[in-house]
Amino acid sequence: MSHNIEVEFLFKRLTDFQLLRIVRAQKHAYVAWITAYLSDVFISNRVAYGVTFAHTLRDTNVRYADGHFIRTAAIRSVCKEGRFWVVSTSDARYVITSFKKDVGRASFHTLLRSSVEGFRTP
C-alpha cells in the first residue's frame, strides 16, 4: 500500500543577501506607510507571492511572522521609491527587496507591461 504525504512549507530562512537587501530597504524614507518587506517575489495574475519580513501584523498572527510565505491581494499600483519597487493593494503597501531567481523579475516586467491595459504606475 502506498501512502502519499503532502508537505507544505510555510517558512523560509533568508540568506545573507536577502537580509542585507531588507535592511537597506528599511533605511529608506517612503512617502507612505509600509505594510511589509517581501523577498523572493514573483507575480502571477497581478498578485505578489514572496517571503515576508517586518509585517505590521506579525505580532497578532503567526502567518505574518518573518520568513513566512504570503500572497498579497490584487496589485493596484506600482511605483519605484529610491532603489526599491513598492506594490500597493487595496489596503497594503509592500516593498520588494528581491525577486525569485529565474522567474521573479520576468513576472514583474509582465506586470509593468500590463500598465498599457489599465494598470497604474504612478
| Per-residue model confidence (pLDDT) at position 73 | 96
Q: Return the C-alpha torsion angle 56, 25, 38, 41, nearest 10.
A: 160
| Per-residue model confidence (pLDDT) at position 47 | 95
Neighbours of 57 (CB within 10 A): 13
| Per-residue model confidence (pLDDT) at position 120 | 57
| Per-residue model confidence (pLDDT) at position 84 | 96
Neighbours of 103 (CB within 10 A): 13
Question: If you ran DSSP here, which 8-state letter would residue 113 be given?
Answer: H
Specify the DSSP element, H or E, that contains 20: helix 16-27
Tens digit of pLDDT at every position of the chain (122 positions): 455 544 344 456 778 888 889 999 999 999 999 999 999 999 999 999 999 998 888 777 677 888 888 999 999 999 999 999 999 999 999 999 999 999 999 999 999 988 655 555 55
Please, what's the b/e burial string for 75-98 (b: 16 or more CB within 10 A of its CB; e: otherwise)?
beebbebeebbbbbbeebbbbbbb
List the beta bridge partners of residue 39.
51
Q: Considering only CA atoms, which of 5, 27, 10, 7 is closest in space to residue 82?
A: 27
Strands (E) in the chain, as ranges, are: 36-44, 47-53, 69-74, 77-81, 84-88, 93-96
| Per-residue model confidence (pLDDT) at position 41 | 95
